[in-house]
Amino acid sequence: MTQLTIAIAKGRLQHGTLELLANSGLCETKEALSSRRLTLEDESGRFRFIFVKPMDVPVYVAHGVADCGVVGHDVLMESQADLLQPLSLGIGRCRIVVAALAERPENGYGMLRVATKYPRIAAAYFGGRGQPVEVIELSGSVELAPVVGLADCIVDLVETGRTLQDNGLSIVEVIAESTARLVVNRASYQLKATAVGALVAALEAKQPEGDL
Amino acid sequence: MSEPLSKIPNGLRYYSGAEAGLRRRIEETAMSVFDGWSYEEIITPTLDYYSLFERGMGPSEAHHAFRFTDTDGRLLALRPDVTSGIARVTATLFANRTRPLRLCYAAPVFRQHGQSAIEWRRESTQIGCELVGQNSTESDLEVLAIASEVLQRLQFNREYVITLNDVEIFNGVAENLRFDADARDQLRQLIDGRNVADLEGFLGPYASREECRAFSKLIRLSGRLETLERARRVITNARSTAALDRLESLWRILESLGISDHFEIDLGDVSRLDYYTGLTFKIYIEGAGARVGSGGRYDNLTANFGKSEPAVGFVFDLDALAGLLQSRNDGATLLAQSIRRAQCVINSDPTALFSEAIERRACGERVVVGSAEVTP
């Protein structure tokens, strides 16, 4: 029997992913929910799960160390890894937005300073409009940057908008909608076609109709 | 602060000992298979005009080459592929030679950046062959048979898959939808990434919901003859149908030859449409996270050099093959065939020393001219 290694993004998506896998009848995941182990096998031996930081999911899958992964579309856009993404899962719905202080001074056509955890998405988005930007890469609490004057705006992920609101920021533009995606390594897709096909089919059956 | 002498540029490395030996064995194995099918080795210049690669690979691929200027100011490049050079020579110097031309090579290529996010190498070795001047199922079969033989000689027995597609299936669909270049490329990217979620949204305005569903199912599943059957139910335009027919007849021959076990039909493989014109294939081996080889038909390539003629060929990535073999026992076996024990020749008189060494060499023995080994 072919075993599939699945990389799961820790944090925001972790719970929803494991729940989805369990609901699809693919595996028992109680242990995973409580465990702090970084790797575990399900009882049937069909799957091995590894838990990694979201930004690292595309890395593990691209190298083929993991055959599949579950990760947000935002991370895929940023990583530009060459992966297959045969399924959009209905979980982890959020938006990648440009946000700024509600009463920001008009910048006109000058240089815009953008603070973000997503330097490539930010550069591609503003580059596509011909807007010159200085991208300031941060690793967290991006909302702080405009408040303390480090940046004119931010490019960040927004789920409820609560953090933005609490810091006096509001959404200026929506760059993209993001949901969790099932990603698959190109070689695994061919070499473990049966196992990958079964996984895709089981997960797809759990997707609400018309919501693909 | 000065740089340490030990430092070498990113993406480059030394190969030595068993690893270097293994690489040479792989090269020799592949080249002997090519020779067995009457392919003639060709060595192309390592440096060439940048414009050659722009014509041969297209600007976006050629862009990855290391570039510098010649003494007359013309732009030169360290070759990022071998096929461009071959296409030019077949259209020019070899224009009057009898067709088909069968050419093969094993040569390093250079890129400013690794070819993908997981490829760190900037110098890698391509082993490949080209069959020029013959447009037939036979020539497609010939290169597929050669690729399979190379893999088997390298003792990859069960664990490889060669996926087949014909780009004309995609071209027919895009033409039928009257797509411009941008939309065509968007469609290509979505299919290539098997991105069903976005594909259905993208195709929404052009087709019924059922058609979109069926189409996305199609590109997501690779398989055998039944894949073509399913495709015929969804894709009915003449151009695609002709390609499906070609693919089917190729498949039936592979089946009759009893080698179809190693092949799959993958209608989602649409990676380089500006380059390929018919059959395309990709080679995957268990243990490698990326393909180890790829190829196909590129009937438009030589036209860029003034003589349009059909051509089909493929390349293996030597680094990927070596990496796989190294991590397995067969690698050791493959290498052991080429390593023999050395006879140590020791004598304090240099004349006697070398007279014995030369004599032993004449008998074909492996010698090491002795003196006590010194560890630095």
Q: Which pTM value belongs to this model?
A: 0.89
**Measuring CA to CA, which residue among B264, B248, B232 is closest to residue B164?**
B264
Q: Is the pLDDT of residue A197 over 50?
A: yes
What pLDDT, on a 0 to 100 scale, did the predictor assign at position B215?
84
Q: What angle is formed at CA B23 by the lines to CA B334 and CA A61, rounded to 5 degrees?
A: 95
Number of domains forming the structure of chain A: 2
A55 φ/ψ angles, rounded to the nearest 5 degrees? -65, -20
Q: Is the pLDDT of residue A212 over 60?
A: no
Contacts of A84 in chain B (CB under 8 A): 193-195
Establish if A211 belongs to a structural domain.
no
A24 φ/ψ angles, rounded to the nearest 5 degrees? -80, 5
Round the average pLDDT of chain B to a whole number and report it. Answer: 91
Tens digit of pLDDT for each residue in B192-201?
Answer: 999 988 898 8
Q: Are residues A78 and A145 in the same domain?
A: no
Rounded CA separation B282/B113 (Å): 22
Establish if A131 belongs to a structural domain.
yes
Establish if A157 belongs to a structural domain.
yes
What pLDDT, on a 0 to 100 scale, did the predictor assign at position B157?
82
Listed range (B196-205, B210-219, B248-257, B282-291) with the worst mean pLDDT:
B210-219
Listed range (A65-69, A79-83, A153-157, A181-185) with the worst mean pLDDT:
A79-83
The helix/strand/coil state of A44 is coil
Query: Distance (Å) from the C-alpha of residue A31 to the closest C-alpha of chain B?
Result: 29
Q: A104-112: long-range contacts (C-beta < 8 A, 24 or more apart)?
A: A104/A146, A104/A152, A104/A153, A107/A152, A112/A152, A112/A153
User: Any chain A CB within 8 A of the CB of B269?
Assistant: no
Q: Is the pLDDT of residue B271 over 90?
A: no
The helix/strand/coil state of A103 is coil
Tens digit of pLDDT for each residue in A108-126?
Answer: 667 899 999 999 999 999 9
Q: Are residues A197 and A122 in the same domain?
A: no
Q: Are residues A148 and A111 in the same domain?
A: yes
* B9-155: CATH number: 3.30.930.10
Q: Are residues A191 and A167 in the same domain?
A: no
Rounded CA separation A164/A160 (Å): 9
* Structural domain of A59: 4-92+179-205
Task: State the pLDDT confidence band at B11, using cuts at 50, 70 and 90.
Answer: very high
* Alpha carbon separation from A195 to A190, B64, B286 (Å, rounded): 10, 36, 14
Establish if A212 belongs to a structural domain.
no
Q: What is the mean pLDDT of residues B29-46?
A: 97
Cβ <8 Å between A87 and B197: yes
Contacts of B198 in chain A (CB under 8 A): 88
Tell me whether residue A170 is exposed, middle or buried, using C-beta atoms within 10 angstroms of its C-beta: 0 to 12, 13 to 18, 19 or more: middle
DSSP assignment of B206-269: GS-HHHHHHHHHHHH--BSHHHHHHHHHH---HHHHHHHHHHHHHHHHHHHTT-GGGEEE-TT-
Q: What is the mean pLDDT of residues B282-293?
A: 93
Q: Is the pLDDT of residue A211 over 50?
A: no
Rounded CA separation B227/B229 (Å): 5
Task: State the pLDDT confidence band at B170, using cuts at 50, 70 and 90.
Answer: very high
What pLDDT, on a 0 to 100 scale, did the predictor assign at position B347?
87
Q: Is the pLDDT of residue A26 over 80?
A: no
Establish if A172 belongs to a structural domain.
yes
Cβ <8 Å between A190 and B222: yes
Q: What is the mean pLDDT of residues B137-145?
A: 96
Q: Are residues A8 and A39 in the same domain?
A: yes
User: Any chain A CB within 8 A of the CB of B261?
Assistant: no
What pLDDT, on a 0 to 100 scale, did the predictor assign at position A106?
65
**Measuring CA to CA, which residue among B98, B101, B53, B43 is closest to residue B80?**
B53
ipTM of this complex prediction, to 2 decimal places: 0.85
Query: Distance (Å) from the C-alpha of residue A161 to the closest C-alpha of chain B?
Result: 25
Task: State the pLDDT confidence band at B329, using cuts at 50, 70 and 90.
Answer: low
For residues B58 and B274, is the Cβ–Cβ distance under 8 A? Answer: yes
What pLDDT, on a 0 to 100 scale, did the predictor assign at position A42?
79
Find the CB nearest A62 among B118, B197, B264: B118
**Measuring CA to CA, which residue among B288, B157, B286 is closest to residue A2?**
B286
Q: Which of A190, A196, A211 to mutate to test the interface with B (most CBs of B within 10 A)?
A: A190
Listed range (A145-149, A162-166, B112-116) with the worst mean pLDDT:
B112-116
Rounded CA separation B127/B104 (Å): 8
Listed range (A32-36, B64-68, B73-77, B309-313) with the worst mean pLDDT:
A32-36
Radius of gyration (C-alpha) of chain A in whole angstroms? 19
DSSP assignment of A123-190: HHHHHHTT--EEEEE-SS-TTHHHHTTS-SEEEEEESSSHHHHHTTEEEEEEEEEE-EEEEE-HHHHH
* Alpha carbon separation from B71 to A106, B68, B74, B75, B76 (Å, rounded): 52, 10, 7, 10, 10
Query: Distance (Å) from the C-alpha of residue B195 to the closest C-alpha of chain A?
Result: 5
Q: How many CB atoms lie within 10 A of CB B53?
A: 25
Q: Are residues A122 and A188 in the same domain?
A: no
Task: State the pLDDT confidence band at A74, using cuts at 50, 70 and 90.
Answer: very high
Q: Are residues A192 and A159 in the same domain?
A: no
B128 φ/ψ angles, rounded to the nearest 5 degrees? -155, 175
Task: State the pLDDT confidence band at B314, using cuts at 50, 70 and 90.
Answer: very high
Find the CB nearest B289 among A63, A86, A179: A63
Rounded CA separation B203/B104 (Å): 42
Task: State the pLDDT confidence band at B317, using cuts at 50, 70 and 90.
Answer: very high
Strand partners, A19: none
- Tell me the residues of chain A between 30 and 69 that have a Cβ less than 8 Å away from chain B: 58-59, 62-65
Q: Are residues A71 and A172 in the same domain?
A: no
Task: State the pLDDT confidence band at B257, using cuts at 50, 70 and 90.
Answer: very high
Token pair in block for residue B242: 């002709």
**Residue percentage of chain A with pLDDT more than 90:** 65
Rounded CA separation B318/B30 (Å): 10
Q: Which residue has the higher pLDDT, B323 or B342?
A: B323
Q: Are residues A145 and A197 in the same domain?
A: no
What pLDDT, on a 0 to 100 scale, did the predictor assign at position A30?
63
Task: State the pLDDT confidence band at A210, using cuts at 50, 70 and 90.
Answer: very low
Strand partners, A48: A5, A41
Question: Which residues in B111-146 belong to E strands, given as ranges?
Answer: 123-132
Q: Are residues A104 and A141 in the same domain?
A: yes
**Measuring CA to CA, which residue among A42, A190, A115, A43 is closest to residue B285?**
A190
Q: What is the mean pLDDT of residues B226-252?
A: 93
Q: Which residue has the higher pLDDT, B41 or B215?
A: B41
What pLDDT, on a 0 to 100 scale, did the predictor assign at position B332?
62
For residues B335 and B326, is the Cβ–Cβ distance under 8 A? Answer: no
Token pair in block for residue B307: 């003589």
Find the CB nearest B222 among A62, A181, A193: A193
Token pair in block for residue A88: 């959009």
For residues B12 and B122, is the Cβ–Cβ distance under 8 A? Answer: yes
Query: Distance (Å) from the C-alpha of residue A83 to the closest C-alpha of chain B?
Result: 6
Q: Are residues A102 and A81 in the same domain?
A: no
Q: What is the mean pLDDT of residues A166-171?
A: 92
Cβ <8 Å between B222 and A88: no
Q: Is the pLDDT of residue B214 over 70?
A: yes
Establish if A41 belongs to a structural domain.
yes
**Where residue A79 sits, what CATH number does that domain have?**
3.40.190.10
Break chain B into its structural domains and give their ranges.
Answer: 9-155, 343-369
Contacts of A209 in chain B (CB under 8 A): none
- Chain A residue with CA closest to B115: the answer is A82
Q: Which of B151, B189, B192, B196 to mutate to test the interface with A (most CBs of A within 10 A)?
A: B196
Listed range (A88-92, B266-270, B272-276) with the worst mean pLDDT:
B272-276
What pLDDT, on a 0 to 100 scale, did the predictor assign at position A32?
60
- CA contacts within 13 A on the Cβ side of A37: 12
Q: Is the pLDDT of residue B371 over 80?
A: no
Contacts of B264 in chain A (CB under 8 A): 190, 193
